[in-house]
Amino acid sequence: MSLPPDLRVLCHQLTSPKISSAHLAQSAQVLTGHVLQCADALSAPQDSKLRDNASEAAVLVHKLKTALKTLLNDRDHRRRFTGVVLVKAVVDVGGWECLRSSEPWKKDPIASKELAVVALARIFTQLHSYQTLVREIATPTIPGFITACLQLLKPSSPDQPLRTPLTVIETILTTLSAIIPLYPTTSRPFVSQIRTAIRPYLVPTLSDARVIPETLQSSSRRLSIALHFTAPKAGGSDEWTALLSGTVKHFHSTADQVFRAVKETWEPPLGYTASKVVFGEEPQGGGDSADILPIWSGVTSGSQRLVGLLRFMAEFILQPTKSQVSIPVGILVDAVCRVAQIARHVPKSQTWEQALETNPAVSREERDELWSAIPLIHVAALELLLTLCLRLRGNFVPVVPEALDYLVRVFKSGISNASIRCSSYRLLAEMLPLCGPTMTKETVSTLDLIIRACCRDLQQEAGYLKPAAQPTAEAKKNGVVMNADLFLSQKTDEASTSSPRLDPPHLSAAENLLTGLLSHLPQHHIRPALRALLDQTAILSHNKDAMMASVLNPFRNKQSKMYPSILPFYSQLFPDDQGLEVLRSNMRTSQPSDSSSFSVFKEAPSEEVSEDQDEDVEMAVEDTVATASSFKMADELEVSPPLVEDTAFKAVPVVDPGPKENPFAPRKPEDIPAATKRKSDDEAEEIKPVKKIHRDISMDEKMDNAPATLAPAAAEDDDSDDESVQLVASFDSDPEMDEAE
């Protein structure tokens, strides 16, 4: 094995007295690249002690390790930082040979400590595969590592700034959640201290002294769930279930306070005891105990606590467990049910007070604060259902009817909220492969609003919606001063009149839902207007997957008449797509089975289509006309006018050609297609096609029935197939043309 020059460069730069500490820290990235090139030398078996006859590679590796140890114990914090960076890189590529020489780390500035936490996490995760090294290195050092981490996590007083930055706290929590499942017995004595340390970061609210980022909240929840790995023997599943049940119980006790302004129609389960509500004071909850979440006060803080608890429930479903657990789907869906009951059926013409029965003992200000917080709670509830669907897959089918009901209810109430639309699209797109093909017509009809909203979002993103009507210029009307700029006849630039753009997750969810609606819904249950809208949106948004799904799932109306396919648009937009070539080849070789089939390419004369057959299609085209640019409520949701001809959405029957003609019968010159004629000075002769005919008859019968134009090669070939014969057939000549000759 040749010695890489990077190893010599490393040893020289780490031991040279000419290189300053500042330059060494600045070169940490370059030095790490040199370490990655020395993987073979660092992972090669070597003696623990350097001998006189050792190879050059062994000498250099020993010199490198000594230099790293010197850097870690140096007085200059910049050299110690460089040492930690290189130790992490050496452990990544060195494997067992470098793991067995790992040493404990010492106190240092916060940046070096964060990097040391990452390096040690890498060391401990790799040590888990070697039981000998676990006993020699991991077991003795992990308690000291966790103790040092807890010192960094120790909260300070609310009036003082944090001792440790939130980013470093997130790194520590992520590291602990990765190490505890690997070393549960060693970590068991620190469980209570860890629970106390992460308590402020689990479900923070506005009542807390600090703002906790979402990433830190997620890291703390994962660590809290991972603590059940430390349960002795087979108690991990029981502890996991108890923690989840406590979270759901805390959710309902918080909802009792937050939803006190509404007389709920939710039916609590048996054995549920509602928390005490005091109407003379602000809603509040929580406590100072280590087993209870921190105190909160006010509707806004309470709604944040509800959102956090719903996300905490979803985290339980996502994280791995120590052993097999039973997911309490019923109590999770029941929590979503309670949230979904607080919704409006007609948000445009209905206020919250009209949609729900309110409590007169609650002030108007508190009710308004609750109405403004409901969309955020609805989004968290939909995300919980989405997590259940992604985790359970086929086992989620029994819950689908309830989930669809809650989805439609929440979507109608918050259709003007982009977050609710995005979450609804994602949830419906995941449920369609599970239950879409078996949906009844009544169930499909309940999705009309979601379908139209999805199409409108995509057409708005594509720029095919009409701009809003500009207000008329009036200086003063009814004593109200109007905007004087309306008098100026200036041209508005394109950027000022363009439609608002969708967020990338929102756009992706709408595109996936459009494809799922065309792929998994029973197309005969969709109204013709909606199917025309789906096809139109797929074309305007250039959604290749949706257009393919539309071609593969053609639409038939009540009279079983097939509507024209959008394959011409598909081939025009994506001419190089391989799926298009498959469709073309299949359609070239396929033939209609009977005269009642309907063509997807060819359009019959208008007089062949009756008014009754065209009635549904005309209604479909009329429903696709849009007149507004801002998103409208449920009862006036519209879309843009179609950019294609109306005939693209018509069901056109193929005219019955009548009985098939004998291809060998005499034909007149005017009946012969122009493509089959050859012109010469004195005659026109037909092209003679070759046809291969297979019939299950005996050879004698074939020979008896063969025409005079039987090919000699086919009759004399001894190696020919006994079950078939090839006939070279030609059209009979026209008698009039024979006489002319």
Residues 170 and 201: their CA atoms lie apart, in Å, by: 10
Q: In 3D, which of 349, 315, 525 has the Cα closest to residue 439?
A: 525
Report the pLDDT averaged over residues 324-334. 93
**Between these two residues, 689 and 472, which has the higher pLDDT value?**
472
Read off the pLDDT band of 433 (50, 70, 90). Answer: very high
Query: What's the confidence (pLDDT) of residue 699?
Result: 43
Read off the pLDDT band of 465 (50, 70, 90). Answer: confident
Is the pLDDT confidence value at 609 over 90? Answer: no
Residues 281-309: tens digit of each pLDDT: 888 888 888 778 999 999 999 999 999 99
Query: Please, is 100 exposed, middle or buried when counting C-beta atoms within 10 Å of its C-beta (0-12, 13-18, 19+)?
Result: middle
Query: What's the confidence (pLDDT) of residue 498?
Result: 55
**Between these two residues, 658 and 371, which has the higher pLDDT value?**
371
DSSP 3-state assignment of 262? Answer: strand
Residues 708-738: tens digit of each pLDDT: 333 333 334 444 444 443 433 334 444 444 4
What SS3 string covers 188-205? HHHHHHHHHHHHHHHCCC
Predicted TM-score (pTM) of the model is: 0.71
Residues 164-191: tens digit of each pLDDT: 888 999 999 999 999 999 999 999 999 9
Residues 566 and 538 sit within 8 Å (Cβ to Cβ): yes
Residues 6+ apart with CB under 8 A from 280: none
Is the pLDDT confidence value at 602 over 60? Answer: no
Burial 583-592 (b: 16+ CB within 10 A, else e): beeeeeeeee
Residues 264 and 285: their CA atoms lie apart, in Å, by: 19
Report the pLDDT averaged over residues 534-549. 94
Query: What's the confidence (pLDDT) of residue 635?
Result: 41
**Between these two residues, 602 and 402, which has the higher pLDDT value?**
402
Is the pLDDT confidence value at 194 over 90? Answer: yes
Query: What's the confidence (pLDDT) of residue 102?
Result: 54
Read off the pLDDT band of 160 (50, 70, 90). Answer: low
Tokens 């460089």 sit on residue: 82
- 128: Cα within 13 Å, side-chain hemisphere: 15
Residues 671 and 663: their CA atoms lie apart, in Å, by: 12
Query: What's the confidence (pLDDT) of residue 598?
Result: 34
Report the pLDDT averaged over residues 94-100. 61
Read off the pLDDT band of 696 (50, 70, 90). Answer: very low
Is the pLDDT confidence value at 616 over 50? Answer: no
Residues 5 and 3: their CA atoms lie apart, in Å, by: 6
Query: What's the confidence (pLDDT) of residue 735?
Result: 45
Report the pLDDT averaged over residues 595-622. 38
pLDDT > 90: percent of the chain: 37
**Between these two residues, 370 and 493, which has the higher pLDDT value?**
370
What SS3 string covers 363-418? CHHHHHHHHHHHHHHHHHHHHHHHHHHHHHHHHHHHHHHHHHHHHHHHHHHCCCCH
Residues 248-282: tens digit of each pLDDT: 999 999 999 999 999 988 988 887 888 888 888 88
- Residue 726 phi/psi, 5-degree rounding, is -95, 125
Q: In 3D, which of 196, 200, 206, 195 has the Cα closest to residue 296?
A: 206
Report the pLDDT averaged over residues 542-558. 90
C-alpha distances out from residue 547 to 292, 568, 569, 574, 579, Å: 53, 10, 9, 10, 11
Rounded to a whole number, what is the distance in angstroms from the first to the last CA of the chain? 91
Residues 416 and 498 sit within 8 Å (Cβ to Cβ): no
Highest-confidence range of 62-76, 310-324, 467-481, by mean pLDDT?
A: 310-324
Residues 21 and 32: their CA atoms lie apart, in Å, by: 16
Residue 251: Cβ within 10 Å count: 23
Residues 565 and 554 sit within 8 Å (Cβ to Cβ): yes
Read off the pLDDT band of 390 (50, 70, 90). Answer: very high
* Mean pLDDT estimate for the chain: 76
C-alpha distances out from residue 660 to 587, 595, 657, Å: 21, 11, 8
Residues 6+ apart with CB under 8 A from 533: 451, 452, 455, 620, 623, 624, 639
Report the pLDDT averaged over residues 689-718. 42
Is the pLDDT confidence value at 388 over 70? Answer: yes
- Residue 407 phi/psi, 5-degree rounding, is -65, -50
Widest CA span in the chain: 117
Residues β-bridged to residue 598:
653
Looking at 163-167, 244-248, 589-593, which range is the least confident one?
589-593
What SS3 string covers 572-623? HHCCCCHHHHHHHHHHHHCCCCCCCCECCCCCCCHHHCCHHHHHHHHHHHHH
Query: What's the confidence (pLDDT) of residue 38?
Result: 72
Tokens 């087993």 sit on residue: 291
Report the pLDDT averaged over residues 357-370. 90
DSSP 3-state assignment of 109? Answer: coil
Query: What's the confidence (pLDDT) of residue 447?
Result: 94
Structure tokens of 485? 């700029």
pLDDT > 70: percent of the chain: 68
Residues 326 and 334: their CA atoms lie apart, in Å, by: 16
DSSP 3-state assignment of 471? Answer: coil
CA dihedral over 700, 701, 704, 707, signed as positive or negative: negative
Read off the pLDDT band of 588 (50, 70, 90). Answer: low
Residues 321 and 240 sit within 8 Å (Cβ to Cβ): yes
Query: What's the confidence (pLDDT) of residue 123?
Result: 84
